[in-house]
Structure 1
Amino acid sequence: MGGEAARAILATEPLDAARALLGAHFTANGVTVRIVEVEAYRGSTDPASHAYRGPTPRNRVMFGPAGHLYVYRSYGIHTCMNVSAGLEGAGWAVLLRAGEVTEGQEVAAERRPSARTALALGRGPGNLGRVMGIGTGDGGADLLAPGATMRLTLPAAGAVDAAAVHSGPRVGVSVNADVPWRLWLRGSPAVSAYRRSPRADPPRD
């Protein structure tokens, strides 16, 4: 599912948008992946979100329409991809954490030669951004526009078994770390390992 129907599905609470993105196919720069792991971020009510303190030139895509690409660099090295969610002005987004390469595997392998297996190519948000060939200049792209060269196709209703969707704490954030807003498809070897940030508060009982 693409176009305005997909945009309407993503123009909702970020956790619901995150669920909708599991099983989606994302195509860019000669590679297509099936998204198997995501994380939701909820703007001004979520201190781990880049939009927590309001709009800036860097995060303005998060405050626009749903279905646009928000790109940032993690530690100045890794390019991470997010999809804007909610209504305009919300500042919500979903981080694409991992994907299985379904087309363009040779291209993906050239971009990430250190991957030990094909299923490891897009494991982790930085690795996923690398195999997709995404740079910060791609920020703001409408992934749902007709004829878009970078495009996102959501799975049809019922295509992903709800029982296969698992949730848990987010990875690598030092605040609001324990909310179970990381979602993944159980059984996919491409899902990344959970690593709690050493700067995060101790887990709550």
Structure 2
Amino acid sequence: MIYLFISLVLTFSYKLVEVAIGLTPYRSISKYTILLWALIIGLLIPLFNNNYIYNMPLHYENAISIFSLLIVINVIAARFSGYNPIGKYNIINFAITYPVVEEIIFRGLILPNIEPLFGSNTLLEVLYMPVTIPVIITAILFAICHLQYYKLSAQSMRFMILAFLGGILLGAITVMTKSILLSLILHIVFNSFSILFSKKIIKI
């Protein structure tokens, strides 16, 4: 049960850091919340013996064709995502920092640590990738975590739905390869193309 509690803490860790900064005399550094959050998560990694962060992908030969298809799906989904970060600082963080930290948290740390609790039996396959109970749980947590960044609204609900669906695919390819490398690349591609479409740099 301790890992379920830790999973919830990690899910809302961005908000916890944000609130903590607000309680200090250094509120002026709130714009750097994401960087402090990233640093804290990085420092926590060694505390987790079971993780998929540093593994190189297994079953690479089977995964690469699925990965290529997911790249295409990502680009198409990004066209309709609605994400539109403003300013260079936010754009860079949206394209790189958020994907890195979120993949470390959800697919790198939470997923492998709740697998012993819920098992790794395949409930169904999506694009020949295994969807397990831990994959579904991490996808739900990944969707919920987006409420840290946006107020509850019709738009944020769309973001959460996209995050859940994306979380299923990212979790499944992580389980398949026992590594977050491919899911991290996919996440960065999705966020980066969301920016390119929102700024009308590319059009389809």
Structures share a fold, TM > 0.5?
Answer: no
**Rg larger in structure:** 2
**Which of the pair is proportionally richer in helix?**
2
Taking structure 2 as the reference length, the TM-score comes to 0.26
Greater RCO structure (CA 8 Å; 6+ sep): 2
Taking structure 1 as the reference length, the TM-score comes to 0.26
